[in-house]
Amino acid sequence: MGHAVGDELLVAVSKRLQNLIREEDTLSRQGGDEFIIVLPSMKVDGAAHVSKKLLEAIEQPIGLMNNELFVTASIGIAMYPDDGQDMETLFKCADAAMYLAKQNGRNNFRFFTPEIQIRSSRNLAVENALRYAHTRGELQLHYQPQICLQSGNIVGVEALLRWTHPELGVVSPSEFIPIAEESGQILLIGEWVLKTAVTRMKQWIDMGYTPVTVSVNLSAVQFHHAHLSKLVTTILDEVKLPPWYLELELTESVAAQNPIRAIEIMNDLHQKGIRLSIDDFGTGYSSLSYLKRFKVYKLKIDQSFIRDLSIDPEDRAITVTIIALAKSLGLRVIAEGVETKEQLDFLRENGCDEVQGYYFSRPLNVDDFEKFIRNYAIKEQQ
């Protein structure tokens, strides 16, 4: 709505803040949409009470230029002297707590704790180290086989990113992937993953291994990037891998963020012969009306439903329902996280098409995966 409306909104918010603080308190706008309030002689309970009042006041509608605007705030609180004995330290601690409030859903407040500082320092260390992980050869792809339950053959392989840092050690993808997304590094890393996986599959085919599909996970940032389709087709053309040997996995929540745009992207990739699948199915919030329009050929049942299949009737019911849904839509279905024969038998009996998990193999590096393929082929022949 333009800078003028934005400025008026900031003025309106600052007046609401000012009306709620005492004469001895100090209100300051630091820049952008950040304000700092200094509350002398305020105890913990008082700081929490003031924060609640501020949040309630800010979330009330603001009328500007014939528009009713709604905003919310995230508040971080640092206490003197426990959290810092100078203003700079207190600002830094309050800022770290504010970002935690944002991560926890916004429109709330958080007090600073030493754990927040540890997490903040760790995130900064991971982010900085990640910037050099690609060029220093610290990133690796591991591969986990996907097995057809009807034939018993390996029909696919999922490429999974791994990172080992000389000082940080093995860093979990659940930790560094969100940091890569927030810092903007995910596009460069994602391109490396895609090219490496496609190149490896082409090499395996050239070595005489039976051609199978290689699956690569896409983050929300990658999926909604304007040049995704061009990037994928360029890599496939350079490597000379037919597009039907590549499967792009996106989570249910990513597809549901902007379903209309997601349909456009999927249609474009589908027309180029690239397969798409929905990962972690059953954990997101996608509409079934959109699901039937998504150009996907496979649903992946999240491992959270597979883990307790043998003891949890609700997990069994959900799994059976997902399989039935996939079949009714003409889609294949794969279950991840399969670790026991009981899980495998249940999935086979209920019509699941494919499985992957530790029952067959953990994710393996290139050398170990090639050994697995050779040994698996020998077992099949026997």
- Tell me the mean pLDDT in the region 100-129: 87
Q: What is the DSSP string of 308-371?
A: TTTT-HHHHHHHHHHHHHHHHTT-EEEEE---SHHHHHHHHHTT--EEESTTT---B-HHHHHH
Q: What is the pLDDT of residues 273-330, one digit of tens each?
A: 999 998 888 776 556 777 778 888 899 999 999 999 989 999 999 999 999 999 998 9
- pLDDT computed for residue 159 by the predictor: 97
**Where do the structural domains in the chain lie, given as residue ranges?**
3-120, 138-381
> Which token pair is 104?
């926890």
Topology (CATH level 3) of domain 138-381: TIM Barrel (3.20.20)
| Residue 189 vs residues 114, 159, 174, 210: alpha-carbon distances, Å | 31, 13, 15, 28
- Computed over every residue of the chain, the mean pLDDT equals 91
CA distance 231 to 223: 11
Residues facing residue 161 across a β-bridge = 141
Query: With respect to CATH, is domain 3-120 assigned 3.40.50.11540?
Result: no
Query: Residue 73: which residues within 8 A CB-CB, separation 6 or more?
Result: 54, 55, 58, 59, 106, 107
> Which token pair is 327?
């079949």
Residues facing residue 69 across a β-bridge = 62
- Tell me the mean pLDDT in the region 7-17: 92
For residue 166, cis peptide bond before it (omega within 30 degrees of 0): no
- pLDDT computed for residue 2 by the predictor: 84
What's the distance, Cα to Cα, between the start and end of the chain in Å?
Answer: 70
CA distance 243 to 253: 25
Higher per-residue pLDDT: 57 or 2: 57
How far is residue 97 CA from its own chain's centroid?
A: 22
Banded pLDDT at 120 (limits 50, 70, 90): confident
Q: What are phi and psi of 297, to 5 degrees?
A: -120, -5
Q: Which residue shows structure tokens 């910037």?
A: 131
Q: Is 200 helix (H, G, I), strand (E, B) or coil?
A: helix
Among 11-15, 55-59, 106-110, 375-379, the least confident range: 375-379
- pLDDT computed for residue 367 by the predictor: 96
